[in-house]
Structure 1
């Protein structure tokens, strides 16, 4: 425990020799003595310091001790300071009575008894030390109470976050089981059917078209499971900072034409017109696989939530950057959901609408950021949405330093 700060005493007398005598009598390691030769000097000191005791000479030119005491009692900062009057006048003047009327705690006559003075001052110094120690303890209790409130608030927030994480874990496991069960059930039924056909000797080996259709169905189911697993692995790598980015020179329009062509049959099956607005070639320094992954995610979402309405892909060049817009004409996104949909395991549709793990937009935004770019969305409910991928365009003649590769794909 730290030793208490010294108490401060104020002595007021117009005679320097009296001030020196009192100072020598009162000063020690537990107290600091301040001197004032007039009431004005005393008031100025009281504005700067908190005193444990004020010893005032009654008879001073200008403002006497009684007037100073009345001023002290009239101000909130100084009214609590104990006052001891000192006077060389005879007791017959009845100064003591007037002194007590002004709020003094004692009245001493000169010549002073050193032992009596020390004894009285010691009492007030002890009271001051006790008062300040009580204040310190109260402040410590208040700090402890505040810290306890902060800890309780943090504990509640942590508990809520833990409960949210547990709910997300349970929902995620349920989603994974559901999403994997669908293609697995299809593959299992296909296998059972072929086993039955083989047992009955009616396996359609002579019909290449039928065998090809079965293989394509199998490939679609296997591809769906692989994509789910890849998404989960990507999230794990992102959270651990080990996602691999391997940049190289990429011609963007060729990449977009290929992706749009690959998804054309899926769009056609949903009754949707998927178009790419023509644009001159755009060359940048990106990870082609990852950029294609983002575009596929955006287009897949647009086809899934676009309600069969047209989906349009367009490219826009600005100074030092390119923006790829994927525009659908579906029901749009509510304003309160605009940021939520970019969180992991969050989905833009509920209540029987299209399912998914809710990882695509989260992964896509992280991949955009890993290219020093961004992914954002704008939407008008009932009038569709636009997802914008913005990427820096590096001069074709300048090859930037390769990104750090922390893990294989």
Structure 2
């Protein structure tokens, strides 16, 4: 301990030979001796180091020992340092009284008794080292307490996270059951109806027009189930770091026209419409399937939460990037929810009960980031929301 934390002693005397003699008396293992030839030099050292004690010569030119002691007692940093005065003056000058009055713990007269000086120094050094050892132990205990608090906070956070994960798991399983039960129930009822018609021999129920409607209904329900499964698989790929792209040369304005055309019937059913502003053709190296997935998610959300008002799609072409904006005229998104909606299993409240697993925006943002792009939202209450997909333009496949 002493090698790591040497005990520092200060001796002050204007005569070099006295400093040398005092140094020889008080030096010892684990001690570091600092010497000053004046009160001014001593003050400079006192401001830089923590001393176990100070031995001051009383009679010095300029600032004497008593003045230096008064300054030390008036400063918080040096107030607690034990002071021992040494003087060559006779005892009849009553320096002892003045020294104790100045705050000294002892006054020694020259010629010094080396053994007495060593004994006194050893007492104060031992007291200092004990105090320092206690202080370090207290600091170590305080650090251990803080570390314990940090660990406890981490455990509490982990427990909260675990509880939230369990709640999310239960909610997720409930959502999956609900979302898959709807198309499966429809398929089951359709199957039972056909079985009943076959058992009754009612083959007229399976005419060309009726079969077309049956196949269309079956296809919609099957596609709903496939989308749910694909979303769950995408989340699994994202979390395992296995989500990859298959980039190809894509003409974006044509892709947007096709998607808007495909979703126009769905918009009509929802009492809405979709407009497109994508007059500037632009091509780049993107994964067409994944870009389509993002845009379909954004359009589906806009129709769901757009209050049956028109949805607008805009393609903006810039030198180094393209931006696809999907804007609705719904109720908007509160500021505190604008990042939360990109978390998995978060579902907004629109005109009807929320549907889906709440994975669309989460997957879409991850897909944008894998393209080295971004997906962001801006919204104000009562003014709808604008989702912006930004993609980098490249004339060659990404590395």
Is TM more than 0.5 here?
A: yes
Distance 1:344 1:96, change over 3 A: same
- 1:96 corresponds to: 96
Task: Determine helix, strand or coil for the equivalent of 1:232.
Answer: helix
Q: CA contact under 8 A between 1:328 and 1:386: conserved in structure 2? A: yes
> How far 1:383 moved relative to its partner?
3.1
Aligned to 1:134: 134
**Whole-angstrom CA distance in 2 between matches of 1:260 and 1:243:** 26
Q: Is the 8 A contact 1:52 1:124 kept in 2?
A: yes
* Residue in structure 2 matched with residue 27 of structure 1 by the alignment: 27
Distance 1:357 1:56, change over 3 A: same
Q: CA deviation at 1:41?
A: 2.4
Who is 2:51 aligned against? 51
**Alignment correspondent of 2:267:** 267
Residue 388 of structure 2: aligned partner = 388
Q: Distance in 1 between matches of 2:4 and 2:251?
A: 75
Sort the Cα spacing of 1:253 and 1:92 in 2 relative to 1 into closer, same or farther, 3 A: closer
Equivalent in the alignment of 1:399: 396
In the TM superposition, what is the alpha-carbon distance from 1:118 to its structure 2 partner? Answer: 1.0
* Aligned mates of 2:144, 2:51 — CA distance in 1: 28
| Distance in 2, Cα, partners of 1:333 & 1:69 | 70
Range that drifts further, 156-165 or 118-127: 156-165
Matches within 5 A, 1:9-24: 9-24=9-24
Evaluate the alpha carbon distance shift between residue 323 and residue 119 of structure 1 in structure 2; reply closer, same or farther with a 3 A threshold. Answer: same
Rounded Cα–Cα distance in structure 1 between residues aligned with 2:331 and 2:47: 70
Cα distance in 1 for partners of 2:35, 2:280 equals 89
The normalised TM-score by structure 2 is 0.94
CA apart distance, 1:182: 0.4
Alignment partner, residue 243 of structure 1: 243
Query: Which stretch of structure 1 is more off in the superposition, 83-92 or 231-240?
Result: 83-92
Q: Which runs of 5 or more residues in structure 2 are unaligned?
A: none
**Which secondary structure state, in structure 2, belongs to the residue aligned with residue 315 of structure 1?**
strand
What's the secondary structure of 2:390's corresponding residue? strand
* Counterparts in 2 of 1:136 and 1:270: CA distance versus 1, 3 Å: same
- Paired residue for 1:62? 62
- Residue 407 of structure 1 corresponds to none
> 3-state SS of the aligned residue for 1:160?
helix
Question: 1:7 touches 1:129 (CA, 8 Å); kept in 2?
Answer: yes
Does structure 1 conserve the Cα–Cα contact (< 8 Å) formed by 2:85 and 2:106? yes
Gaps of 5+ in 1: 403-409
User: Aligned equivalents of 2:133 and 2:360: distance in 1?
Assistant: 61
CA separation of 1:177 and 1:386: change in aligned 2, threshold 3 A: same
Distance 1:78 1:313, change over 3 A: closer
Q: Match of 2:294? A: 294
Counterpart Cα distance in 2 of 1:296 and 1:70: 82
- The whole-number CA distance in structure 2 between the counterparts of 1:327 and 1:61 is 86
Query: Structure 1 CA distance, aligned partners of 2:333 and 2:63?
Result: 79
SS of 2:322's equivalent in the other structure is strand
Q: Is the 8 A contact 1:333 1:381 kept in 2?
A: yes
Secondary structure, aligned partner of 1:313 = strand
| 2:10/2:35 contact within 8 Å kept | yes
Name the residue aligned to 2:319: 319
From the superposition, tell whether residues 290 and 271 of structure 1 become closer, same or farther in structure 2 (CA, over 3 Å): same
Which residue is equivalent to 1:8? 8
How far off is 1:16 after superposition? Answer: 2.2
Partner Cα separation in structure 2 for residue 223 and residue 199 of structure 1: 29
2:284 aligned with 1:284? yes
Tell me if structure 2 keeps the 8 A contact 1:313–1:326.
yes
CA shift in 2, pair 1:247/1:49, >3 Å? same
The 1:68–1:292 alpha-carbon spacing in structure 2 relative to 1, beyond 3 Å, is: closer
Deviation readout 1:193-244 (Å, 9 max, x if unpaired): 1222222222446511112211111111111000000011011101111112
**Aligned length in residues:** 399
> What is the alpha-carbon distance in structure 1 between the residues aligned to residue 380 and residue 36 of structure 2?
77
In structure 2, the residue corresponding to 1:89 is in which secondary structure?
coil
Q: 1:54 to 1:262 in 2, by over 3 A?
A: same
8 A Cα contact 1:272 1:303, kept in partner: yes
Residue 44 (structure 1) shift? 2.5
Preserved contact between residue 10 and residue 55 of structure 1 (Cα < 8 Å): yes
- Asked if 2 retains the 8 angstrom alpha-carbon contact of 1:194 and 1:203, the reply is no
Matched residue SS, 2:54: strand
For the pair 1:191 / 2:188, whether they are aligned, the reply is no
Question: 3-state SS of the aligned residue for 2:314?
Answer: strand
CA 1:282–1:92 in structure 2 vs 1: closer, same or farther (change >3 Å)? closer
Question: Partner residue of 1:37?
Answer: 37
Partner of 1:358: 358
Aligned pairs for 1:73-84 (under 5 A) are: 73-84=73-84
> 1:5 & 1:277 partners in 2: Cα distance?
75
- Cα distance change, pair 88–309 in 1 and its aligned pair in 2 (3 A): closer
- Write the distance in 1 (CA, Å) between the matches of 2:396 and 2:45: 72
User: TM-score scaled to structure 1, two decimals?
Assistant: 0.91
